[in-house]
Amino acid sequence: MEKQKSLVRSNVALILIGFLAIAISFLAYAKNSSLIITPAAMPALQRLAIATFIVLFTSFVAIGWGLYKTYRAKISSVDTTILSVIANSINNKRAKQIFIISAIGYGLFFAFTSGIIIYKPDINATDYGFPKPPHAELSPCCGLPGYMPMIFVFFTEHVGLQIIPLNMLLLVSVSFLVGLNFAISSTVFSVAKSGGKLGAFGAITGLFVGCPTCAGTAFTMLFGFGTGATTFTLFLTSFEAQVQTLFIAISIPVLLVTPIMMAKRIRSQSGSCAVEPK
């Protein structure tokens, strides 16, 4: 038991180190936003931009591995801690399928609404000074922490990618949490169908927070933001991007708390880690 607890602690530490590395890379890069950019300074800034993306994607791998190892440790344990309840409640084929489908589906939706996936049939990239596609370029300067550096990839004149570090972080983390909420909700529904007293409360709570991007999208559409281009991006205004990010960031605590609420209700009802859906 002590060995397992030590393993879980090391996995959680790996997850925290991953997030800490991302935060440090954002803040370190932000210090360059006040620099006077000269042609001589660009090579060093581009190297720093590349290092920032390497840290970001390496951290994603570390966080993902830590989560997976924690999940594997918890499904083999006999305790009834919240982590064990959550892990065991999604440890079945149906829940895993729901997790994957909802996480990928939400990820694609977020990628479109946040501008990660670019589709602008009424705009040609070449009209804004970009070379003829296919083309990729790194934009190392300048902006708020998390919004720089950026990578532009154009597959055609109308279709491409706009990779912003903060948006990538939100894409991965929120998509995971949305998938988790839907997966646990499926277990709550199964318990209710089998005669449990959970009812629809937990499941509806999980589904309620299943689209945190929608509020930001509706807000920007309602007030008409996003009609112009900034100096550093062709397709999103800085204000629209920040409003969208604000709504997503606010939703993260809700997405974190909801699985805990549902897990507590599952534990109190079943007295064990999870109920296998039929």
| Residues with Cβ within 8 Å of residue 71, at least 6 apart in sequence | 87
The larger pLDDT score, comparing residue 24 to residue 139, is at 24
| Residues with Cβ within 8 Å of residue 80, at least 6 apart in sequence | 267, 271, 272, 273
In 123-176, beta strands by DSSP E: 135-139, 150-154, 159-163
**pLDDT tens digits for range 59-90:** 999 999 999 998 888 887 767 788 888 888 88
β-pairing, 150-154 vs 159-163, is: antiparallel
pLDDT of residue 3: 67
pLDDT tier at 269 (50, 70, 90 boundaries)? low
Q: Which of 144, 115, 162, 170 has the alpha carbon at shortest distance from 26?
A: 144
**pLDDT tens digits for range 213-242:** 444 444 443 344 333 333 334 444 445 555
pLDDT tier at 104 (50, 70, 90 boundaries)? very high
- The helix-helix angle for 212-223 and 238-270 (nearest 10°) equals 150
pTM above threshold 0.75:
yes
pLDDT tier at 115 (50, 70, 90 boundaries)? confident
> Could you tell me if 199 and 192 are in contact, meaning their C-beta atoms sit under 8 angstroms apart?
yes
The larger pLDDT score, comparing residue 247 to residue 20, is at 20
**3-state SS class at 194:** coil
Q: How far apart are CA 151 and CA 117, in angstroms?
A: 12
pLDDT of residue 191: 64
**Residue 161 predicted with pLDDT over 80:** yes
**3-state SS class at 150:** strand
Mean pLDDT, rounded, of the chain: 74
% of residues, the chain, pLDDT over 70: 68
Question: For residue 213, what are its two tokens?
Answer: 């991007």
Q: What is the mean pLDDT of residues 160-173?
A: 87
**In one letter, which amino acid is 143?**
G
**Residue 31 predicted with pLDDT over 80:** no
pLDDT of residue 217: 42
**Residue 172 predicted with pLDDT over 80:** yes
**Residue 201 predicted with pLDDT over 50:** no
Q: How many helices (H) and strands (E) does the chain have?
A: 8, 4
pLDDT of residue 34: 58
Count, residues in the chain: 278
User: What are the extents of the domains in the chain?
Assistant: 2-270
| Residues with Cβ within 8 Å of residue 87, at least 6 apart in sequence | 70, 71, 74, 75, 273
